[in-house]
Structure 1
Amino acid sequence: MRRLVVLCAAVALSWGCGGEEEQPRAGGTTTIDDRTSLAFAQPAPNLSEEHLSRHRAGDAAFAAQFVPGPAPVNPGLGPLYNNNSCNGCHLRNGRGMPVMGVGPQRTQLLVRVSLPEGTPPHQNGAVPVPGLGTQIADQAVYGATPEASVTLSWEESSGTYDDGTAFSLRTPRIQITPSDGSALPSGMLTSLRLPPPVFGLGLLEAVELSTLRALEDPSDRNKDGISGRLNMVWDSQTGSLSPGRFGLKANSPNLFQQSADAYFNDMGISSTLNPEPDGTFELPRETLEAAVFYSQSLGVPARASLDDEEVRHGEELFQSLGCEACHRAALETGEYPVPEMAHQRIHPYTDLLLHDMGEGLADGRPDGIADGTEWRTTPLWGLGLTQTVLPYAGYLHDGRARTLEEAILWHGGEAERSKERFRKLSATDRASLVKFLGSL
């Protein structure tokens, strides 16, 4: 009985222990009991018939493969691009593979670039590189030439846990070769980006701003070593700065802008938000809105092994190591245009805030007010299904981590203390923590 009381106290945020939430449902009533390779691609089970129909239309929009215009179906691709569909990067709606692909595989990794100084016009702090812009387009339609080719290699380094067990970490190295043979600007900033999962985004958008503001502590007033803050980014619809919550550095304020920017930057397709110089655009607004609704209305896969003692012990360790200080177990959603996402108690394991992750993960590239060492806390729900949905998918912002252990060992900055506590755990305790993460 004493162990049960201690356990309940340790995981109260996510379990409730006798309260209204005996068994935590990751996405509240949007949770789906599916842990197959299609777990990230299911509509929320609480959608109305009308919204289920809209979701299916959005699914078709998300899967649509675009072609160069003029064409009767899905015109507008390119002339420069990275992929020809949303699904092309977000395979089965999960994380991407850490490869620079061509042909049927297309590009899985994107390369953001910018100059180290200058005054950008609403580029979220990123100064465009002449000839490359702020993202390298490594594909081109027939008759056009890609901006550059990118090759990826890995540099291995070794270390040991406190018990002497060896581990190896890898660091990505990229080589960019402009197609026109020009030299790259001195000091050009680069950032390798892996496509993140797209399920549960409507729930994250439905979390009230006041909730996230309450989690901020930029000056570390409570002296716990954690100083998260919201990014402030350019909102193209309002023409002003707004809090960001989407993207690896929270560089997008909402799903509509994130989707429109992806069509424009990744596929070269203009829209009402990113029109052509003459004001025209290629993507019908209804197609953009359908793709947005799809990402808003996806279900969240349920956790597994809730009654497994090792998983419960791993959850205790997750909290005692300090991981939950950033990876918040529970959040509440508020009012939302998609009512099925409103007023849900969810378990995304994120605070959607920027945190200093140390020099090991730094890209040195600003994004909004995020500096070169800051990244948004990655949601952990569905983490254990990453390899089920897409074998060889990577972890962290650039896919460098091949395993959950490697992902933890790369943590630095505000997470340095938690990382070191993990490194000093026994092999048994490390396995328990990883098993807990795998249950999410």
Structure 2
Amino acid sequence: MWRYKRPPAARNGWLLAGLSLIGPAASGHGLIGADADPHLAPAPPSAAQAVRAATALRPVRDFSGPEPFEANPAGAATVRRADKQAFAQPAATLDFESELDFRTGKSLFEKLWVSSPSSTLASDGLGPLYNARACESCHIRDGRGHPPAQGEVPVGLVLHLSRPVVAEAVGGEAGVARIPDTHPIAPDPVYGRQLQTRALRGLSPEYRLSISHDTIEIPLAGGARATLRAPHYHLNDLSYGPLAADTMISPRAAPQMIGLGLLEAIPAADILAQADPEDGDGDGISGRANIVWSMTYQRPMLGRFGHKAAQPSLRDQSARAFADDLGISTPLLTAGWGDCTAAQAACRSAPHGDADARVFEVDATGLDLVTRYARNLSVPARRNPGDPQVLRGKQVFHDTGCNACHRAKFITHVLPEQPAQSFQLIWPYSDMLLHDMGPGLADNRPEGRATGQEWRTAPLWGIGLTETVSGQASFLHDGRAHTLLEAILWHGGEAQPHRDRVIALPPADRTALIRFLESL
């Protein structure tokens, strides 16, 4: 395995095995996987490639002009679009056959599912309880979801549910109990893993959501003031009785879809080399890796996807979304009723789309095509990276310490079987680790190794096109922030000193910082 930075094994005791990550307390369970994630099959870099990587990853020192290749955040896969379809483009490096698979996966991603039984057997199986009829409904043009307007049924925002349990209570379910230092959780006994806002005829949606807000005023240096809105979520008209007394709720806005295959292709060792869970260097930043169970590979792996890095691969992530959001079965999550629990007998006994020759409502081929679609959505090129105000904002970004978590660049694995993601210099502006973001953003709901105050550093690439693509600007895990400045001002915990430096900036520097972020 290629490691251009010293792996952290000596510091944190973790054993690295390609993309598998198994702690010493788990090694006795025989969970150590193969040398690499099977679908990646990385090759070692050549000596020349290693030299190029070391040169490309040097920290920036000169802010007088853009860095080499900075305008291409997805490397050779970068696309030249800045309109509302900017996030929906295939990687520029796809060959003809791969682009055909991409287009087929896109059709499945955009498909409107219908209830069973139906004459359109390839499209039935929706629900019976669900949040959306299509993946595209939540990820608007492959961009971010957002909270609902007053009186609107939410689509791009869902409420996750879980209850704390002792490890023995989950037994070996999904291998969670065998991952050290994790927080075992279980679904709500009646409502499952997620609340559904829609239902097929004859059934009732699980609840109706309303949101109220408290207003928080933040004075800024220079005399300006910023206004934050703290959301409160109200669960009305619960159709199947109350939630369990200890059920925890976490609102989650659908994230943007761009560059996911490149994030999946970052060597795990290079992500873990930045982890400092005990803050050994005393800089106040203690990024931690989430270690989660892979349904696809039946072993613990580094979590990469989702707001708390709770999914290890795009295939796992896609199957989970099909089950929880649409009520669609796949070879990984086989229940035709999706997230319905045993307490919801009418849902479980309703017709499902897996009674025909498909076996699953989305079979292995369909799941793989949707996964390939997600893997090959590219990232749009930077806008005006050489603009003097953008360059000043980039320097402010570094001077205030934002780059401590929002790491600018990585180089992906050498992947002979995935040339579109192979050996690319990418600029996601994320370290892919968990960080304590303080009580203001806390959902108080653990997930894997993540605590109730920890979130994965969100990639910033494409963030300046959020409103263009999605129709409105909304940021953070629940979409509460309507501007990039609001998103910064919600940062607490490890990021509190950096947020305070932004507050204290001269107005011109604060404007330059936002201009830089808008260029990403």
Question: TM-score range, shorter-chain basis?
Answer: over 0.9
Q: Map residues 3-42 of structure 1 onto 2, 5 A cutoff.
A: 9-11=61-63, 15-16=66-67, 21=68, 23-42=70-89
Distance 1:195 1:100, change over 3 A: farther
Indicate yes or no: 2:169 matched with 1:90: no
- 1:23: Cα distance to partner? 4.5
Q: Which residue of 2 aligns with 1:146?
A: 205
More moved, 85-94 vs 117-126: 117-126
- Report the aligned-residue RMSD: 2.1
Which of 172, 181, 186 is the aligned partner of 2:231? 172
Query: Any stretches of 5+ residues in structure 1 without a counterpart?
Result: 1-6
Indicate yes or no: 2:331 matched with 1:272: yes
| Conservation of the 8 A alpha-carbon contact between 1:32 and 1:302 | yes
Q: Which residue of 1 aligns with 2:110?
A: 63
Indicate yes or no: 2:519 matched with 1:435: no
| Conservation of the 8 A alpha-carbon contact between 1:148 and 1:176 | yes
- 1:234: Cα distance to partner? 1.6
Q: Which residue of 1 aligns with 2:467?
A: 387
Q: Map residues 371-386 of structure 1 onto 2, 5 A cutoff.
A: 371-386=451-466
| Conservation of the 8 A alpha-carbon contact between 1:11 and 1:319 | no
| 1:193 counterpart SS class | strand
Distance 1:135 1:8, change over 3 A: closer
More moved, 308-317 vs 166-175: 166-175
The separation in 2 between residues aligned to 1:10 and 1:83, in whole angstroms, is: 47
| 2:186 counterpart SS class | coil
| Conservation of the 8 A alpha-carbon contact between 1:101 and 1:108 | no
Q: Map residues 152-191 of structure 1 onto 2, 5 A cutoff.
A: 152-177=211-236, 179-180=238-239, 182-191=241-250
How many equivalent residue pairs? 428
- 1:390: Cα distance to partner? 1.6
The separation in 1 between residues aligned to 2:320 and 2:149, in whole angstroms, is: 21
Q: Which residue of 2 aligns with 1:292?
A: 371
State the AA in 2 paired with 1:109.
Answer: L
| Conservation of the 8 A alpha-carbon contact between 1:131 and 1:147 | no
State the AA in 2 paired with 1:376.
Answer: R
| 1:40 counterpart SS class | coil
More moved, 394-403 vs 178-187: 178-187
| Conservation of the 8 A alpha-carbon contact between 1:76 and 1:283 | no
Q: Which residue of 1 aligns with 2:158?
A: 110
| 2:321 counterpart SS class | helix
Q: Map residues 70-89 of structure 1 onto 2, 5 A cutoff.
A: 70-71=117-118, 72=120, 73-89=122-138
| Conservation of the 8 A alpha-carbon contact between 1:235 and 1:242 | yes
Residue by residue over 1:287-330, the C-alpha shift from the partner in whole angstroms, topping out at 9 and shown as x without a partner, is 11111101111121000112210000000000010000110111
| Conservation of the 8 A alpha-carbon contact between 1:356 and 1:414 | yes
Q: Which residue of 2 aligns with 1:348?
A: 428
Which 4+ residue blocks in structure 1 deviate beyond 6 angstroms?
Answer: 100-103
| 2:440 counterpart SS class | helix
| Conservation of the 8 A alpha-carbon contact between 1:100 and 1:151 | no
- 1:33: Cα distance to partner? 1.3
Distance 1:346 1:8, change over 3 A: closer
Which of 208, 223, 229 is the aligned partner of 2:288? 229
TM-score calculated relative to the size of structure 2: 0.79
The separation in 1 between residues aligned to 2:150 and 2:320, in whole angstroms, is: 21
| Conservation of the 8 A alpha-carbon contact between 1:318 and 1:324 | yes
Q: Which residue of 1 aligns with 2:44?
A: none
Distance 1:69 1:393, change over 3 A: farther
Which of 490, 500, 503 is the aligned partner of 1:420? 500
Q: Which residue of 2 aligns with 1:48?
A: 95
Residue by residue over 1:145-170, the C-alpha shift from the partner in whole angstroms, topping out at 9 and shown as x without a partner, is 22222222222111211333211101
Which of 316, 330, 344 is the aligned partner of 2:409? 330
Residue by residue over 1:378-426, the C-alpha shift from the partner in whole angstroms, topping out at 9 and shown as x without a partner, is 0000010001112223100001101000000000111111000000001
| Conservation of the 8 A alpha-carbon contact between 2:90 and 2:376 | yes
The separation in 1 between residues aligned to 2:314 and 2:237, in whole angstroms, is: 32
More moved, 251-260 vs 329-338: 329-338
| 1:276 counterpart SS class | coil
Q: Which residue of 2 aligns with 1:4?
A: none
The separation in 1 between residues aligned to 2:310 and 2:408, in whole angstroms, is: 23
The separation in 2 between residues aligned to 1:289 and 1:200, in whole angstroms, is: 17
Distance 1:270 1:8, change over 3 A: closer
Q: Which residue of 1 aligns with 2:192?
A: 133
Distance 1:233 1:225, change over 3 A: same
State the AA in 1 paired with 2:145.
Answer: G
State the AA in 1 paired with 2:446.
Answer: P
State the AA in 2 paired with 1:375.
Answer: W
- 1:100: Cα distance to partner? 6.6
Which of 361, 365, 386 is the aligned partner of 2:445? 365
Residue by residue over 1:96-147, the C-alpha shift from the partner in whole angstroms, topping out at 9 and shown as x without a partner, is 12117988x7512100112244434447733211211121112111111222
State the AA in 1 paired with 2:187.
Answer: P
| 2:211 counterpart SS class | strand
The separation in 2 between residues aligned to 1:33 and 1:276, in whole angstroms, is: 41
More moved, 366-375 vs 276-285: 276-285
Q: Map residues 303-318 of structure 1 onto 2, 5 A cutoff.
A: 303-318=382-397
Distance 1:284 1:389, change over 3 A: same
